[in-house]
Structure 1
Amino acid sequence: MDGDTDRGEQNLLGQFLRARRELVAPETLGIPVHGTRRVAGLRREEVALLAGISAEYYLRLEQGRDRHPSGQVLRSIARVLQLDDEGTAHLLGLVRDDDRPRRPRRARPESVPPSLAALVPQLPFPAFVEGRYLDVLCANPLATALSPRLVAGRNRLRDVFLDPAEQALFPQWEAASAALIAGFRRSVGADAGDARVVELVGELSIASPTFRRLWSRHDVRERQGGTLTFQHPVVGALAVHREKLLVTGTDGIVLVLYHPAGADGAERLALLGALAAEPGPVADPPVRVEGIHR
C-alpha cells in the first residue's frame, strides 16, 4: 500500500488535516507565491515549518502512521490552518476518539421524549425536532406549512440537497447548505463507521456535486441559531430568527424553532398560521427526485 494513502475512513485525522491545509492561501501566512504551484493551499512542509514540527512528523500524521500527537502540536497546526475554536475542538476530538475501539456500528434509532412530542404541536411558531443525523422526528403544522418537507421521516440533508422545492425556500441556498453540512459533521463527530452516516454521505456524494464539494472541505460548526429569510411560495419573503435547542438526556436531538424577525416577519408568520389552519395544502407539494426513494 502506498504510504500516502489513507486507511479508508479510519484515518479521519489525516483526511481533516489535508482538507484544511488545501483551503489555506499561502499569501495569508506571508508565504510568497512564484509561478504555478502544483498543490492547492499549503504544502505539507510549509505547515510543518510554521507549526514548529518536522516535515517527516507532519507527514506521519497525515498518513495515519502517528495517531497520538500532543495537544500542543495539534494546537500549533490548528493555528497554521486558521481553524476557529470549533475547528480546533474537532481536531482535538479526532485524536481522543481514535483511542476508542473501532467496529462497524449500526444506525441508532432515535425517539422524541414524550413530553417534547406533546409540546411541539402546541407551540405558536414553526417547530420541529431534529435528530443527530438531521432526520425530522416530529413537526407541528406551522412547520409543515413553512415547508411540506418538514414532516416526520424526512431528512434535512436529503431535502436541502436533492429537492428543488426545498432549495427554492433559501435565497442563499449554498450558504445554508454549507452550514447544514458543517453542523452535521459536528453532530456525528468521529463516528465515520456509523452505518447511517455512511449511507447518507455515500448517497449524497453520488447524487449532488455540491454536497461532494462542500463535504470535502471538512467544515465543522455547532448546530446553532441565527437569522434567515425564507422565500415562501405563498407568503413571500419571511424573515425569522432560528433557535436550535439541545434536548437534554438525548444523543444530539435538538428542538428547532422559527420565530418572527421584525414586524413584517410577524405579519407573514401570522398569515402562514392562518393558511395552515385551513384545509388543503398551503404550499408546493413535495417534489420527487429521480433516483431517490423515500
Structure 2
Amino acid sequence: MNLVRLYVMLIRASIRSRMQYRFNFWLSTLLATLVNVSEFLMVAVVLVRFDGIQGWSLYEVGYLYAVISLSKVIYRSFANDVHNLDRYLVNGELDQLLTRPLPLLLALMSQNFRIMLGETIQGGGILAVCLVMLLQQGQVGWIAIPLTLWIILTGAMILFAIGLTTSTFGFWLTKVEVLQTLTEDAARSAAQYPLTLYPGWLRSIFFTFIPVAFANYVPSLYVLRHEYGPWLLVATTAVALLCLAGVLAFWRVGASRYQSTGS
C-alpha cells in the first residue's frame, strides 16, 4: 500500500507539472479531438457510401474503433513512458529511476502522466453514439455497456503488454522505434477495423505474436453479434492476464541485463 500511495503521489505531481501550461493543454486537447474525429469521419463516409464493409455496419466498426481508442487512452495515460524507454536507455536517465524507492517499472510508469482528454472525448463520443444506435436497433441489450467497459480495461492490459514487451527489447537493442511502429502503431491501427479485412497470415499474427485481436475484435463477436458464447469474454480476460504475467517476467529478465551508462 505504501508503494501504491507513493505511485499516486508521483502521478499527481506529474499532472500538476503538466497543468502549469493550461493554454497549451486546452489547445492540444482541442486539436487532438478535431484530428481524431476527422479521421473517423473519413472512414464513416466510406462506410455509409458502401453500406458497411465485410458485413460490418458503420456502428459496429465505430464500436471497434472506439474500444481500441479508449484502451489506448488508459495504457498511454498511466504508462506513457513505457513507450519511451529507449530514450531513458540512450540518455542514461534510467539510472535516476533506479534510485527511487519504487520498483523500476512503477517508477517508469509514474513519469509524464498524460491527460488524453481529447482522445477520451473522441473515443467516448463515438462509443456512446454507436451503442445508442445499436440499442435502438435491438442488436444489443443494456448488458453491453458493462461488458464494453470490461473489454476496454482488458484491452488496455493487452496493449500495455504489447508495448512493454517491445520496449523491453530495448535492453538488448537500445533503439526500438521501428519495432514499436510495427507492434504498437500499425497493429493497433489495423485492429480499429474488422480483422476479416486482412489476409489469413496477418490475422494469425494478430491472434498470436501481437494479440491485438483480443483487445476488441474477439470480444465484440459476442457482444455485438452474439457469436460463440460468453466464453469469448473469459478467453479475452485470460489472454490479457497471461500477456501481463508473461511480459512482467520478460521485463525482469531485461532489467537484469541493464548496464548503466555511467552518467
Shorter-chain TM band = under 0.3
Q: Would you tell me which structure has more helix in proportion to its own residues?
A: 2
TM-score (norm 1): 0.25
Q: Would you tell me which structure has more strand in proportion to its own residues?
A: 1
Larger Rg: 1
